[in-house]
Chain A
Amino acid sequence: DAKTTQPNSMESNEEEPVHLPCNHSTISGTDYIHWYRQLPSQGPEYVIHGLTSNVNNRMASLAIAEDRKSSTLILHRATLRDAAVYYCILRSFSGNTPLVFGKGTRLSVIA
């Protein structure tokens, strides 16, 4: 799977929007962009995924660049419970390969 690049850490104020960037310049045509987050002492939690079009769900929005070489996870109103490590992962739709985790972005939310 292609590699992704994320900032090591970000900080946000509570109740403000957060934009978490991810670069994936070597993405292939069959790669989906997945976002997971890991709260302290828990397993990762699925957030959202997409291929080309922007995606929205109850947790977040995913904005994908037109050339697909970057994407942004958007939390519309950060809460203290959103403090976690956020992982951007590429995974090909075909096959049954596992998710491979990078270092992710540690998001801190300030009250």
Chain B
Amino acid sequence: GAVVSQHPSRVICKSGTSVKIECRSLDFQATTMFWYRQFPKQSLMLMATSNEGSKATYEQGVEKDKFLINHASLTLSTLTVTSAHPEDSSFYICSARERGGQPQHFGDGTRLSIL
């Protein structure tokens, strides 16, 4: 079945550091990728939608200058959390879809802990 690989699975770093998370679709070309964030005991919250070769669309309340998204190819999207602070600590999950109407497939998530 379709596989989405997310890396790294866990990051612990100091406040002020920038962290890059990669999301790859391994056996299909993902025209659209999505980034979600999940705080403990809460549901997934959509952060942004990115289409290959164009700028990401951010949800209300998500700072585009803090959460940089790049979707340069049909198999790779990256999320960079710039100048991370403790309140950015969360579980970040990427998702990809081959084309509209198909199921979304999810990565295993990245647990980000900012000290």
Q: Which residues of A contact B (CB under 8 A)?
A: 34, 36, 38, 41-46, 49, 87, 93-96, 98-104
With A43-B109, A96-B31 given, can you name 9 additional A-B contacts, CB distance below 8 Å?
A38-B44, A41-B91, A43-B106, A43-B107, A46-B103, A87-B43, A93-B101, A98-B34, A98-B46
> Interface stretch among B61-69, B73-81, B92-100?
B92-100
A48 to B, closest residue via Cβ? B103
- Residues in A with CB closer than 8 Å to B109 are 41-43
A residues near B4, Cβ cutoff 8 Å: 43
Q: Which residues on the B side are within 8 Å of A103 (C-beta)?
A: 43
Nearest chain A CB to B22 CB, angstrom units: 14
B46 closest partner in A (C-beta) = A98
Kindly state the interface size class of chain B when it binds its partner: 20 to 34
- Tell me whether B95 and A43 are in contact (CB under 8 A): yes
**Contact A43 B6, CB 8 Å, known A93-B101, A95-B100, A102-B43:** yes
Alpha-carbon distance A42/B101, docked complex (angstroms): 24
Q: How far is the CA of A15 from the CA of B90 in the complex (A)?
A: 34
Which residues of B are interface residues toward A (Cβ below 8 A)? 4, 6, 31-32, 34, 36, 43-46, 49, 51, 91, 93-95, 97, 99-101, 103-109, 111
Given A43-B6, A101-B44, A96-B105 contact (CB < 8 Å): no
B3 to chain A, nearest CB (A): 11
In Å, the complex CA distance between A87 and B43 comes to: 10
How far apart are the CA atoms of A99 and B100 in the complex, in Å? 11
Q: How far is the CB of B115 from chain A (nearest CB, A)?
A: 20
Instruction: Please state if B97 and A43 are interface contacts (CB–CB under 8 Å).
Output: no
